[in-house]
Amino acid sequence: MQWLLSFILRYKNLFLYLFFVSIILSFSYFQSEYHKSKIYKASIIASGLASEPLKNLTSYFRLKKINAKLLEENFHLKSLLIDENYKSNYEYEKIDSPYSLILGNVIKNNISSNRNIIIINKGGSDMVEKEMGVIGSDGIIGIVNQTTENFSSVLSILHKDIKINAKHKKTNAFGSLFWEGNDPDKVTLSDISIINKINVGDTIVTGGMSSYFPEGIPIGKIVEFKNNGRYYLINVKLINNMTNLNNVYFLKNKYKSEIESLYK
């Protein structure tokens, strides 16, 4: 305490000067509109300069919280989107979407082999079941293969044995989507009849014929196509970047078992 007192006494002239300057500034602030605006402007600049580094620093520590909040928001919006998308397919009847979402996080992702598998940190205890569809922020990711209590393995869309029902968005022509095992960003769509007119750049979406995915989830865009006699062989560039997956959504279809019982 004593050092503070001696410090103040030592620099008493400086403190007195600064005190008077602050009084003069406040005097000017009330006395003259011109000085008021100038002082106000200077104070805005000073507070801006001072608060920006501070804000940058604190925002860095809040990033995790913000991220969690954004994920939650994304999850909500994605659910709404799936719901709306489903409803728009049935314009004349009011049907609620049978799909609900479960948020998951990719903990292992492989693209180097022919049969790639993704491990996700949600399992049976989070209501994840076998053969659920999995989508990412932009498009489809794969189908659940196995689940344990806390984890699940997903057959990536980059898996040679997986075939997904897809359609050409403009013409609604159905086909079958599979991966040939070459580029991790390109898949092939076959079995679209040549009576449909297609162009490079057209969008390919999920068909909705399977119970894995609802209709209309984007998959990719046509890069090139070949006429194979009766059918097209279409090369599709995936919208999702399969090499940097992070957050994914499981699609839970509440009528799945009912639909599948009809196949048996």
Partner 1 sequence: MNQYYPKIFLLSCFLVFLQLLIFDRINLFGFMNPSIYILVLITYRYDMDQFNFILIGFLLGLMMDILSQSAGSHSLSCVTISFIRPLITKFSIGPNYEDFSNPISSGILISNRVLYYLLIIILHQLILNSYSYFNWIHTFTILKLTIANSIFTFVVIISFINLFSAKE
> Minimum distance from CB of 3 to partner 1 (Å)?
20
Q: What Rg, from alpha-carbon coordinates, does the chain have?
A: 30
Q: Which is nearer to partner 1, 40 or 90 (CB)?
A: 40
> Minimum distance from CB of 8 to partner 1 (Å)?
12
206: left (phi over 0), alpha (psi -120 to 50) or beta: beta
> Minimum distance from CB of 38 to partner 1 (Å)?
5
Q: Which is nearer to partner 1, 2 or 13 (CB)?
A: 13
Q: Which is nearer to partner 1, 39 or 111 (CB)?
A: 39
Say if residues 159 and 142 touch (Cβ distance below 8 Å): yes
Quote the tokens at residue 75.
Answer: 């999850």
Say if residues 168 and 190 touch (Cβ distance below 8 Å): no
Q: Which residues bind partner 1 (CB under 8 A)?
A: 12-14, 16-17, 20-21, 23-25, 27-28, 31-32, 34-35, 38
Q: Which is nearer to partner 1, 9 or 195 (CB)?
A: 9
Matching residue, tokens 């998951």:
104
Say if residues 156 and 199 touch (Cβ distance below 8 Å): no
> Minimum distance from CB of 24 to partner 1 (Å)?
4
